[in-house]
Structure 1
C-alpha cells in the first residue's frame, strides 16, 4: 500500500535530510504552513532542489493522507525525468508511489501518491473533474515563467479553492524569483511566503554599469574584451567561461571576433548554445573540458534552463534577451531586444553554483533589470488561451487573470475566432470545441479539423497534422549557423526539401523523409542535412499527442504511416487557404516590395527562410501564417494559392475586395523613368548599404499616395531605373524633378 510506504520512508527521513539541503532546515515550517493555509508561496533559488525535494518532502508528510499530490512543470521533457529522479531517490520504480502523465505517456497506478504532469495536462483535467477531487495538494513549479497555461491554471485554482473547503486542497506556488512573488501574494490575498535559500556556494557579483551613451553593440564588445582578459590573465584550469548574448546572430558574430583575438592560442574551446543547435553540438556543452584548454560557451537565454554547466566559473551577462511580442491591434509579431528580468539574472548567476569561487560579471546597473516577468498572456497571441477558457466554461472577458490582458486584445481574439466559426455569441461552436482540444494555434487547428473531418475521401488528415505541428516548430527546424560559407552550404542542403508551392509542403517533405530513416540513423541524417534533430523529436511527439487526442476524445483513428502514400497536395493547399484567408497576399511584381496583403492593406516581403526564396519563385497569390516585424515586415510560412481558389472565395463573398483594385497595385514591367548618372556618381547616390535608394523611394512615395515605387541601380550602365505601379503620366512631375535635379546639377558641375 502507498500509505504504508510513506510511513516507512518517514523513518528514514533524517538520513535523507542530509541530501535534501537546503529544504532540511525549512521542512517543519513548510509542512505546517501547507497544512494550515490553502495557498503558500515558496521562494527558492535555482538548483535548490525545489522540483524534486519539495514534492518528496510533502509526500513524506501528512499532507497527502487523503489524496494525491500533483506537481506541474512548464516543459514536457522535465515531467518524466523528474518523476524518475524522485522515484530513484526513494528506491521505487516510476508508476508506483511516484508517477507522471504527459500527452500519450502515462505511468500512474492506484498506489501513486505523487504525480508529475505539465501545466496543460492539469488544466485539461478540469474538463474531467472541475473540483480536482483526486488531488489534495497542487504544486505549481517554475511559476515565475508565467506561461499562458500557468496563468490560466492559477486562475482556475483560485476559483476552485472556496469550493473545496470541506474536502481540503492546498496550492503551493514555487518561484525562483523574489520580485515576482509580490504579484502572486497580492493575487491570493496575502498568502504566506516561505523563503528557502541555498547558502552553500555564494557567487561573487561584479557590476560593470553601462553609460547612457553606450548601446548594445558597445556592451557586447566590452564583454568580448573581458572574455579575452579573463582567458589571458587566469590559468586555463581555473574554470570555464559562459557569455550571455541575446541571439544566434550575436553569438556567431562574437565567436568570429573571439577567434580573431585568440588566433595565436590553442588553449580554448569556443562553443555556441542556442535553440537551433543539433543535439550532438548541444551535448558538447556538458562534456568535460579537454586538458590544457578552457571552454568558452556563448549562449542565449537557453542556458537559463540548466541548473548548472559543469566547469563554469565565470559568468559574463550582457543583460539582454530577444523576445517575440504580439501586437493585437496591428496583428503583428515583433522581435524585440529587451532587458532581462531579475529572475533571469539570478538563473544565469546560478550556473556557476557548483564552482567554489564562482564569479558573475554583469554589464548593466542593478536598476536596469526588469523587476517582474512580462507574462505570456500580455506578450503573445492569446487565441488558444481564449479557446481553452471557453472550453472550460469560463468567460475570458470576466476571468480573474493574475494579470489581465488588454480588453482590446480579448475582443480582437474573439472576433478572429468568430471569423473562423470557432466562436458564436461568445460561446464555443462544435468546431471551436474540436480545435480547443488540440495543442495548436486556432487557424492551424481549423486546418487540421477540415482535413480530418471534411476531406475524409482525400485521406490527408495525417499530412495536415504533420504540417500544422511542423509549422509550430518551424523556427528551429533548419540549422543555419557559422560563417557565411557555412550558411551558404546549409542553404544548398535545404534546397532538396523545398517545395515549389511553399513552406508548408516543404515541412511535410522534411518530416516524411526523416520518418523513413531507420531510428538509429536519424541523428546522423539530421546532421548531414543540417536539420535540428531535437526539433524533429518534438514534432514527432506532438504529432503522436494529437493522434492520441483524436482517438481518445473524438473516436477518430489515424495512423502515422506515410510510406508509398501519394499525397493530395492540392487539397492541402486549398484547406490552408481557407484557414488563413485573412492573410492573403498578392505579388507586386518585384521581390523588393514583395506582396500586398489585402486585409492588412500593407506590403510585405517573404521571410529569407522561406523555401520560395530559396527557389527564387514568386507566386501570384499566397497565404502567410504570421507577420514578423524586425528590420522589415516579413510574411512567415508561405504557401501558394491558386487564383481560381481566390476567385471562388470572392464569388462566395468570403473575400470582400475588387480583384481589379488589387491588380492595379502591381508594378509595371517597364521602368517609368531611366536616369543616366554615370558610374562614379552612381556609387555615391546608391550609398554603401543602399540606404540612399530607400530614401529616394520614400520621397517618391510621399508625393504619390497609393503608388508603389522601386528604385534600382544598373551599375554596368551607370543608370538609375524607377519602377512604379502607375503609368508615368500619373506620377507627380515635381516629385521626379525633386529627386533627379540635384543629381543632374552634380553631373554638370563635375563636367565643368
Structure 2
C-alpha cells in the first residue's frame, strides 16, 4: 500500500487491513493469550503506518469500525513508540462505563496495575498516579481540567474517541482542545497532537472544522448483515421487541446471542422481567435464555456479566441502551433487534424546560446498531420500523449542544476565560436563544453579571469549582450561609449518583413497606437524608441495605462523592456546620437553588403548574409525595412520558421562592 510522502498530507487515504501473525511490540510480561489477541485485531497490520502518520501530523481524523481495536491499541502504539514524548496521552470517552472498562483492559494488556501506567478519571473517581501515561477519561473531566490549565500542558496527545456521539462536553472540548493546540504553537510550547476517532461520522464536516485535517481510514472485519424491516409501523416497540426475540429464539440454534436496543433503565428492567417470566413458562425443549440488562447506571459487576462467554447450549440476550452502539464490543452477537428509538434530552429555551424524551434514532445510529450483528460472522438485524419510516429518519444525530440546557457549558466557558460565548468556535453552533437562556439562568442564580460583556461573579467562580449542575452548586453555597452544609452535601451527593432505592417487581410491596421508616411528608430530598443517616448509623452494613432494599454500591459511591465535594468546600474554607433536625432550613436552601423548578398546585385539580413556563406537570409515581398534594414544590427534573412528570420533589413555602428571586417572580409572591 502506498502512503503519502513527507510533503503536505493528502486529504484522505485508506489502510487496507488483512490478518497477519507477526508482532514486534511484545512487552515480555504480558500473557501470551493477550499478546495473540492484540495481534489478531484488525488494526494490528497498520500499526507502523498509523504511528508514522500520527508522528508527522498535528491533527488527524481516524475512522475505524467498532471492534477494530482503535480505542485500546492506538494509545499503546503511541506510548510504545514514545510519540507522546514521555507526557500523558489522554483518551476521552462520552461515558464513564467505557472509560473504566477500557482502561481496565488496556492495563491488563500492558501488564500493569490499573492506576499506574494506565489509569482512568471520571467524575468523582480518579484512578491515576504520577506514573500514568495512558489516561482514559470522560470528556467532561478533561474539560474541567482545562479550566485550571487551558493549555493542557500535562498532555502531548489528546484522543477524542467516539466523536460522532457529539455529547455536549465533547463539542465544547473540540473548541477548547483546538484553541489549546493553536496557543501552544504560537508560544513555542511543546506541540499538542489531536486525534479524533469514531466508527462513523460526517468526515468532511469534522475535517473542515479541524483545519482540513487528513482522514485516515482503518478497515476492519465487518461481515454482511441481513436487514429485516417491520411490515407496518409498530405502536409498542417494547412489546414488538420481545415478540421478535422469541420468534428468533424458537427457530435459531443456541449460542447465537441477541442484542436488543431499548431506551432507558426502567424500560429495560421491565423488559428483562417479562422475558424471564416468559422463559420460565416456555416449553421445556427450548434452549435456556440468559438475560442481561446493560445501561450506564448499572453497577460495574452487573455490566461485566454481559461480556462473559455464553455457556454451551444457551443463548444470551442483552437488553441495552445506546451505550451498546459503539462504546463496548460484545462477543457472540449474531442478531440485533433495533427498536428505532433512543432517550434524549431536549431543551426548550422559550419555556426553560429540559425534558427527557424518547425520539427516533438517526440513520447513522441505525447503521451503528446494525453493524453490531456483523462483528464476527454474518448476522441479522430486525428493525422494528418500516423501510419508509427509515427513509424519513435524519441522516445524523442532532448534536446534544443544539438540544440541551447550556447553563453548565456557559459557566465552564466563562471559567475558562472565554466571555464571547456567541462567537466561540463550536463545530455546530447552538441557537442564540439557547445561549441567551443559559446566561439568563446563570444571571438569576447570581453567577454572572451582564455588562459590556458577560462576566463571572465571585459566586459564579465558586459555583464553577464544583463538578455539578449550576443549581446544585448554588444550593451548596446557600447551605454555607444557612449553616446546613452537612445536610445539603449529603442530599447533593445522593442526587449525583444513580438511585439508591431498589424496588424489585417481585417484592414491590415488601420494599415499599421497608422504606416507610425513611419516608418524609416534606419530600424526596428529606427521605434521602434519612436513608443516609440510617446507612451511616450502621456503618454501611450490607445486611441493613438488603433488609431495607437500599443499593449498597450506590450508597458507597454517594459517600465517596460527598467526601470529594467536602474536600472542595474545605479548600474554599466553607464552615462545616449542621442544622440538626431543622429540615425547614434544608428545604429553604433547596428552594433558593431550584426556584426556577417550582410548581404550584392548580385549584380544584390534582395537577400542578410550573411557575416558570405555566406548563401543566404531575408528580412522578416514584415520589413519596405522589399521594400528597402540597401547595408548592420544587423538583430536580421533568420527564416527558405519557405526562410531564416532576421527579425528586421537595415541599417549599412560596415566601422562600419570592425571597430567593424577587425579580424572577416579578415582585409578585407565588400564590398571590
Structure 2 length as normaliser, TM-score? 0.83
Pair 1:495–1:173, CA change in 2 (3 A): farther
Q: Which residue in the other structure is 1:243 paired with?
A: 260
Distance in 2, matches of 1:243 and 1:18, equals 27
- Residues 40 and 172 in structure 1, CA contact (< 8 A), matched pair in contact too: yes
Q: CA deviation at 1:399?
A: 0.7
Pair 1:578–1:63, CA change in 2 (3 A): same
Q: Which residue in the other structure is 2:455 paired with?
A: 427
- Residues 42 and 194 in structure 1, CA contact (< 8 A), matched pair in contact too: yes
Which of 415, 428, 439 is 1:414 aligned to? 439
Q: Which residue in the other structure is 1:188 paired with?
A: 210
- Residues 587 and 651 in structure 2, CA contact (< 8 A), matched pair in contact too: yes
- Residues 230 and 383 in structure 2, CA contact (< 8 A), matched pair in contact too: no
Q: CA deviation at 1:515?
A: 4.0
Distance in 1, matches of 2:272 and 2:141, equals 40
- Residues 34 and 172 in structure 1, CA contact (< 8 A), matched pair in contact too: no
Q: Which residue in the other structure is 2:568 paired with?
A: 549
Q: Which residue in the other structure is 2:57 paired with?
A: 37
Distance in 2, matches of 1:466 and 1:412, equals 30
Pair 1:526–1:385, CA change in 2 (3 A): farther
Pair 1:98–1:571, CA change in 2 (3 A): same
Q: CA deviation at 1:153?
A: 1.4
Q: CA deviation at 1:493?
A: 4.2
Q: CA deviation at 1:63?
A: 1.6
**1:166-315 maps to which residues of 2 (within 5 A)?**
166-199=188-221, 202-210=222-230, 214-217=233-236, 222-236=240-254, 238-247=255-264, 248-249=266-267, 252=270, 256=274, 259-260=277-278, 263-266=281-284, 267-269=287-289, 271=291, 273=293, 275=295, 285-286=306-307, 289=310, 292-304=313-325, 307-315=328-336
Q: CA deviation at 1:130?
A: 2.6
SS in 2 for 1:65: coil
Are 2:562 and 1:539 aligned?
no
Distance in 2, matches of 1:382 and 1:608, equals 29
Q: Which residue in the other structure is 2:403 paired with?
A: 379
Distance in 2, matches of 1:106 and 1:62, equals 23
Q: Give the number of the structure with larger relative contact order, counting CA–CA contacts within 8 Å between residues 6 or more apart.
A: 2
Q: Which residue in the other structure is 2:586 paired with?
A: 572
Distance in 2, matches of 1:252 and 1:320, equals 17
Distance in 2, matches of 1:278 and 1:167, equals 42
Q: Which residue in the other structure is 1:681 paired with?
A: none
Q: CA deviation at 1:78?
A: 4.7
Q: CA deviation at 1:189?
A: 2.6
Which of 624, 640, 643 is 1:629 aligned to? 640
Distance in 1, matches of 2:364 and 2:538, equals 42
Pair 1:306–1:388, CA change in 2 (3 A): closer
Distance in 2, matches of 1:256 and 1:106, equals 38
**1:511-550 maps to which residues of 2 (within 5 A)?**
511-518=532-539, 521-522=541-542, 525-550=544-569
Q: CA deviation at 1:60?
A: 1.6
Q: Which residue in the other structure is 2:607 paired with?
A: 594
Distance in 2, matches of 1:617 and 1:398, equals 47
- Unaligned regions of 5+ residues in structure 2, if any? 1-22
- Residues 333 and 627 in structure 1, CA contact (< 8 A), matched pair in contact too: yes
Q: Which residue in the other structure is 1:329 paired with?
A: 350
Which of 382, 386, 392 is 1:361 aligned to? 382
Q: Which residue in the other structure is 1:662 paired with?
A: 671
Q: Which residue in the other structure is 1:56 paired with?
A: 76
Pair 1:362–1:176, CA change in 2 (3 A): farther
SS in 2 for 1:265: coil
Q: CA deviation at 1:416?
A: 1.2
SS in 1 for 2:68: coil
Distance in 1, matches of 2:306 and 2:109, equals 26
Pair 1:598–1:112, CA change in 2 (3 A): closer
Distance in 2, matches of 1:515 and 1:294, equals 42
Pair 1:517–1:401, CA change in 2 (3 A): farther
Once the two structures are superposed, what CA deviation does each residue of 1:675-733 show, in whole Å capped at 9, x if it has no partner? xxxxxxxxxxxxxxxxxxxxxxxxxxxxxxxxxxxxxxxxxxxxxxxxxxxxxxxxxxx
SS in 1 for 2:671: helix
Q: How many residues align?
A: 630
Distance in 2, matches of 1:76 and 1:243, equals 21
Q: CA-atom RMSD, angstroms? A: 3.5
Pair 1:360–1:431, CA change in 2 (3 A): same
SS in 1 for 2:83: helix
- Unaligned regions of 5+ residues in structure 1, if any? 1-8, 664-752
- Residues 104 and 548 in structure 1, CA contact (< 8 A), matched pair in contact too: no
Q: CA deviation at 1:41?
A: 0.9
SS in 1 for 2:213: coil
Pair 1:322–1:533, CA change in 2 (3 A): farther
Q: Which residue in the other structure is 2:19 paired with?
A: none
SS in 2 for 1:158: helix
Once the two structures are superposed, what CA deviation does each residue of 1:3-36 show, in whole Å capped at 9, x if it has no partner? xxxxxx9774899587243222222332232222
Which of 123, 126, 129 is 2:146 aligned to? 126
Instruction: Name the structure with the higher helix share.
Output: 1
Distance in 2, matches of 1:571 and 1:312, equals 53
Which of 322, 340, 343 is 1:319 aligned to? 340
- Residues 272 and 291 in structure 2, CA contact (< 8 A), matched pair in contact too: no
**1:405-554 maps to which residues of 2 (within 5 A)?**
405-425=430-450, 426-452=454-480, 454-455=481-482, 458=483, 460-473=484-497, 476-480=499-503, 482=505, 486-518=507-539, 521-522=541-542, 525-552=544-571, 554=572
Are 2:638 and 1:638 aligned?
no
Once the two structures are superposed, what CA deviation does each residue of 1:588-608 show, in whole Å capped at 9, x if it has no partner? 355x44233333334432222
Distance in 1, matches of 2:637 and 2:654, equals 21
Q: CA deviation at 1:354?
A: 6.6
SS in 2 for 1:399: coil
- Residues 292 and 316 in structure 2, CA contact (< 8 A), matched pair in contact too: no
Distance in 1, matches of 2:43 and 2:78, equals 11
**1:71-150 maps to which residues of 2 (within 5 A)?**
71-79=91-99, 81-94=101-114, 96-102=116-122, 103=124, 105-109=126-130, 112-150=132-170
SS in 2 for 1:108: coil
- Residues 207 and 363 in structure 1, CA contact (< 8 A), matched pair in contact too: no
Distance in 1, matches of 2:116 and 2:658, equals 60
Q: CA deviation at 1:53?
A: 0.7
Distance in 2, matches of 1:419 and 1:222, equals 46
- Residues 606 and 629 in structure 2, CA contact (< 8 A), matched pair in contact too: no
Pair 1:438–1:383, CA change in 2 (3 A): same
Which of 600, 611, 620 is 2:624 aligned to? 611
Higher-Rg member (1/2): 1
Structure 1 length as normaliser, TM-score? 0.75
